[in-house]
Amino acid sequence: MCVTEADALLNMMKKIIAGEAPENYDRFYQAHKDVFNMTAVKADYERMKQWYGHVTLESLKELQTMVVADFLKKDLLRSDRAPTKRELLQVRLDKVEELLPADYELPEDFSHQCAKFRRYISWDGDILVINYNDYGRFMCHNLTRLSLYDLVSLFEFDILLSLIHQDMRQMAAAELRQEPKRESRSEPRSAPTAVADFGLLVCKPEKAALVTRRLHELMEGKTRPKDVLMPVRAAMDAGALRRPTWPEFCNEFGRGRLRCKSSLSNYTQPDIEPYQGSAFDEMVKEFRNLIL
């Protein structure tokens, strides 16, 4: 009778976990990542950039590909289900290989690893975006199968990608600002539209780089407009940031970050409160501390 009762309770727990809201897996993963020391990973990333010498947007794309390849070679997704033929056909190994060093050796099952990996990511232009809902679900369901080394590797990979993406976005924004505007000879020349540097929106100029960098970090991996804009609204409510305009937002974070400017308008509207809960409150508190 005890065994039967225990079995029934375990099955009930499985059903509860299976029906968990997707964003809770994101929170589960982020809670574990928050206690991870990033110092060594940041030092490794700086050494990687030194190896490349002059860092460009193209070299950062290559570095992103090599970091992903190194991650997949560790076979951390070994407990995930085998890929289908349809998933394997979607893998473009030629696109991967052209961004890797000529002498980089790929394992025989690399296509299978790529097919599994595609279940957990999407693309924002050239930037690979981790879906933390799915990534967190994988970690939660396989926690007993993952060694401490495996868990560290999952976090290191995520942090390395975040550092690369931060540089990619800043470099792309800088190129966009420097790109000369084309003028048509048949049309009269109009006055240029000034777009303020995003750092000027920060209430304390000496904290501009710190606040802007944290916004990039908190947006990383988010795809839903509400999730993307949550850090911006938290910084506004903390008194750290003025409400950005659509050009100012795109200039800093890229036009691909949001599909339309109505999202920015809705979630930063001062007279409404689109965010509730402890996660948002903690974010507001963090930005208040940043500008102290």
Supply the pLDDT for residue 8. Answer: 79
| Side chain identity at residue 200, one-letter code | L
- Count Cα atoms within 13 angstroms, Cβ side, for 106: 22
Amino acid sitting at position 45 = Y
Q: Looking at residue 184, what is its pLDDT?
A: 44
| CB contact set of 119 (below 8 Å; sequence gap of 6+) | 80, 87, 134
Among all chains, which residue has been given the structure tokens 């193209």?
58
What radius of gyration, in Å, describes the C-alpha atoms of the chain? 22
Integer angstrom CA distances of residue 24 from 19, 80, 113:
11, 20, 26
Cα atoms found within 13 Å of the Cα of residue 35, Cβ hemisphere only: 6
Model pLDDT, residue 185: 46
The confidence score (pLDDT) of residue 183 equals 44
**What pLDDT is stored for residue 193 in this prediction?**
43
pTM of the model: 0.59
- Residue 256 has a pLDDT of 78
User: Each residue's pLDDT tens digit in the chain (292 positions)?
Assistant: 889 888 878 777 766 665 667 788 888 888 888 888 888 999 999 998 888 778 898 999 999 999 999 999 999 999 999 999 999 999 999 999 999 999 999 999 999 999 999 999 998 888 998 998 899 999 988 988 999 999 999 999 999 999 999 888 888 777 766 655 444 444 444 444 445 578 889 988 888 888 998 999 899 888 888 999 999 999 999 999 999 999 889 888 887 788 778 889 889 998 888 998 889 999 999 999 988 8
pLDDT at 66: 95
